[in-house]
């Protein structure tokens, strides 16, 4: 059932969607922390992305997926999907096999800064000092969380893989922003995850050989990561990205380490060290400093222009046909 028209067009909705995505992404870190490393990087990605692909099949059956009209666009979306859903997840899994999750999270979170700079310089979104300051403050909070929770296990290869994951993350977000001008977010997500799944299929023998030794609880946890932090979260992320600047939206991912600390405390009973708590507060403060002005500006524009209350909610070119029930 869809939401009322005035809610479907509310300018705060993309930011609420982004918050939901951050919570789902943070929960995946908690799942990995609780389950431990029971699968090799490629096998874990195959199971996770395979679960995501199965979860999205109903959208294909219901005709909600539109195949791109040109071969060039089809190739571009497929390459994006392989980079985001196969290469990124495999490289990140491999990185976390060599360094602890806290250190990996700090390295990967250079991605929002990359996206903010490139979006401002190349996409013409601007580079407000407030945005850069907020990203840097939040990154300082991530550094504190890392110092407080790191096991001290550092591998040069693990750091390099973390940097590669950050570059894949940033490049995928920037590419998605450009491609969403030519394809709706739902179709792009479904096709991209399908391409990522196909790219992970060579790891099938590994998954089969390792599956018998994997605790059933961890299998369920990985499937959860495929359905919610991957399939559902990326549908919602695509919806938000069509309606907000890429640099500002991506800076919201700086909330993930803070949310992870909080969820681990609530769900796993892990009392965060004082330094990690301070780092979490800095993450929230910095991300808020970067994001809140855009949220306020969106709400103010609606208040100042009453005609927006009656905007036609039908999807524009490049927007998701799921609108708000995504």
DSSP one-letter string for 146-157: HHHH--S---HH
**Is 231 within the bounds of a domain?**
yes
**Is 137 within the bounds of a domain?**
no
Residue 255, token pair as written in the block: 């909330």
Of 312, 290, 4, 9, nearest in space to 141 by CA: 290
pLDDT value of position 288 = 81
Structural domain for 181, as ranges: 12-128+153-245
| Cα separation, 144 vs 273, whole angstroms | 10
**Is 3 within the bounds of a domain?**
no
pLDDT value of position 303 = 55
**Is 146 within the bounds of a domain?**
no
77, 143 contact by CB (below 8 A): no
**Is 173 within the bounds of a domain?**
yes
33, 101 contact by CB (below 8 A): yes
257, 150 contact by CB (below 8 A): no
pLDDT value of position 310 = 41
Give every residue of the chain whose pLDDT is below 70, as ranges.
1-9, 32-37, 100-102, 150-154, 268, 270, 298-299, 301-326
pTM: 0.81
pLDDT value of position 28 = 83
**Is 157 within the bounds of a domain?**
yes
Residues found in the chain: 326
pLDDT value of position 33 = 62
The count of domains in the chain is: 1
**Is 324 within the bounds of a domain?**
no
Burial level of 151, CB count in 10 A (0-12/13-18/19+)? exposed
**Is 289 within the bounds of a domain?**
no
């Amino acid at each position: 059932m869809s939401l009322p028209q005035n809610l479907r067009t509310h300018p705060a909705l993309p930011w609420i969607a982004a918050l939901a995505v951050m919570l789902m992404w943070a929960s995946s870190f908690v799942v990995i922390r609780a389950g431990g490393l029971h699968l090799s990087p490629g096998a874990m990605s195959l199971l996770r992305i395979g679960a995501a692909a199965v979860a999205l099949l109903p959208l294909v059956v219901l005709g909600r997926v539109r195949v791109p009209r040109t071969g060039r666009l089809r190739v571009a979306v497929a390459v994006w999907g392989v980079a985001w859903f196969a290469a990124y997840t495999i490289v990140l899994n491999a990185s976390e096999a060599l360094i602890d999750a806290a250190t990996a999270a700090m390295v990967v979170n250079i991605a929002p800064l990359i996206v903010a700079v490139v979006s401002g310089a190349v996409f013409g979104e601007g580079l407000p000092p407030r945005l850069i300051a907020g990203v840097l403050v939040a990154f300082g909070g991530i550094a504190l969380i890392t110092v407080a929770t790191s096991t001290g296990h550092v591998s040069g290869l693990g750091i390099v893989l973390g940097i590669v994951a950050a570059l894949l993350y940033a490049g995928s977000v920037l590419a998605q922003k450009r491609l969403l001008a030519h394809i709706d977010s739902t179709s792009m997500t479904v096709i991209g995850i399908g391409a990522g799944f196909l790219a992970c299929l060579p790891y099938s023998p590994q998954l089969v050989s390792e599956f018998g030794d994997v605790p059933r609880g961890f299998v369920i946890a990985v499937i959860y990561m495929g359905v919610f932090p991957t399939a559902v979260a990326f549908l919602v992320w695509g919806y938000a990205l069509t309606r907000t600047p890429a640099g500002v939206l991506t800076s919201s991912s700086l909330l993930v380490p803070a949310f992870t600390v909080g969820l681990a405390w609530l769900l796993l009973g892990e009392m965060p060290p004082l330094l990690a708590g301070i780092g979490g507060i800095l993450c929230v403060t910095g991300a808020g400093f970067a994001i809140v002005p855009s949220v306020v500006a969106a709400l103010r524009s609606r208040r100042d222009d009453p005609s927006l209350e009656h905007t036609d909610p039908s999807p524009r070119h490049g927007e998701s046909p799921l609108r708000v029930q995504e």
